[in-house]
Structure 1
Amino acid sequence: MSSPMDIPPDLIGQSGLYNSPDPLLRRLRLEQPDGKSINNVSKYFKDKEVLVLYAGSEYGENNIRGFHRDLTTFSQKYKSASVLYISTDVLPRQAENVLQGKPWLRLTFFDNSDFAPVGEPDEKDWSVGLEEVKRGEDFLQAGEVEMGEEKIQFGQEENENDYVRPLSRAGLTVLMNVFSTPSIAIYHIPTHSFLAKNVNMSSFKPENVERNYQIWKGGESTSVKISDIIDKMKWTLLLLLIAIGYHLAVRLGGEQYNFIPKVMNGINGRLNGKI
């Protein structure tokens, strides 16, 4: 658990906005679809159970419009869930282009996220992204999270009265294990833990989403487990073990254990009418 810190001057008298025992929610500076800040995290998420974290960018957005429609339908249908968009772009207008018309929550853009700029961004837009840091807070950056300078213990509650540094967009993508966009993670609020990371976009297709949501809501993961693979392949694995055992018997015990050729000869003889 992170050690308590002094409340930034800009937040004195307002730190209660983030008084949540959840180790993730209390570190997020969230905005509603219209861009207005969520003023009371605990109140907003009181009846929520599942948080879908979607790290995306403007690049390639045209190729995943079907997924965006599915995600929008999901956010409108399941009232005990919320979708949070985490922009990995470097310009505010890039994030706005993706979010236009979407009913998703968003992480504040102005957090000094240490994403590497791509190309030559407009000077005015770039300076705004760097300087207008939300409420003067010191956001946790990706490098700090990777180096473990700020340790976050999931699966348990924290003292909601202690102020902790918020997560930047870059810092949150590290926790999500984002390698490229789009990247989706499922967070279960009642148990304060991630259920799955790098979730396939097909999980939100109409034919899959109801089953998946019931699993997530129950605090379980839809990720493929080794036990699931073994269960589906148990007969194949059994035959493989028998084949390996037979091979070892012949190799170590000699030709007296090599009964398969004798059996095959007998079958061929019966088919040919020789016996």
Structure 2
Amino acid sequence: MTVHDHLLRAQAPIPAAAWAAIDDEARERLTPLLAGRRLTDWGGAAGWSASSVSLGRATRLGGPPPGVDAAGATARLRRVQPLAEFRVPFTVSRDEIDDIERGAQDPELDDLDRAARQAASIENRALFHGWPDAQITGIAEASPYEALSLGDDTDRYPGVVARAVDVLRRAGIEGPFALAVAPEGFTRIAETAEHGGYPLFDHLTRILGGRILRAPGLDGALVVSQRGGDFVLDVGQDLAIGYSSHDADTVHLYLEESFTFRVTEADAAVVVR
């Protein structure tokens, strides 16, 4: 986990070994949950002080400031997209911190697990379905195609996924392609064998030419091009742990991130419901 002064970690009553264990546990929990990141390009981590990213565009202004005599002068306002930030609080028992210092290899950090799932859902949800208050348009909202219906009949999955791939190819969008699926749909695919015992998971992977991802925070599914350059995740402060306060029994911490998301090619994804 990235460490910055504003997280006030030095003020927490947590020794170095316990911090390392907490950071490692957070990383282990978060990595498989952050499905949206595996479908997008990484715009980089600009740091906590970053407030926006440039859109590379500008809006024409009426002219110079009032009262300025500058005949023929033109003016434009650069367009940017602001970063949103969020915090998800959690607690760690001081007894558990002491046990880690004693050498415990199985720390009980259940509240960190809960916080990691919530933080991942916030990021995933914004990338997949948007976050209007944060001026983020999600992949599903940006897609211009009519949504395809997957339903509950797994026999239909190969045909529907093949149709989605065909829609993208007809629009000039190249592969490989990925299928992001809500957790319940992913489990259904993983557990299903087609006639003859051939795994449905393998069949869909061959159609896509890419991977199938379990995607918490996603409603339904998305077929997305993985050629690159279509979706960009811009991060200021990457997910990190900060310190809030403590008492005799508990240390209050939080997971924090600042980010925004841009769809640069809306045609590169098909929604599957």
- Above 0.5 in TM-score? no
Q: If the length of structure 2 is used for normalisation, what is the TM-score?
A: 0.24
Q: TM-score, normalized by length of structure 1? A: 0.23
Structure with bigger gyration radius: 1
Higher helix share: 1
Whichever structure has more strand as a proportion of its residues is 2
Question: Relative contact order: is structure 1 or structure 2 higher (C-alpha 8 Å, sep ≥ 6)?
Answer: 2
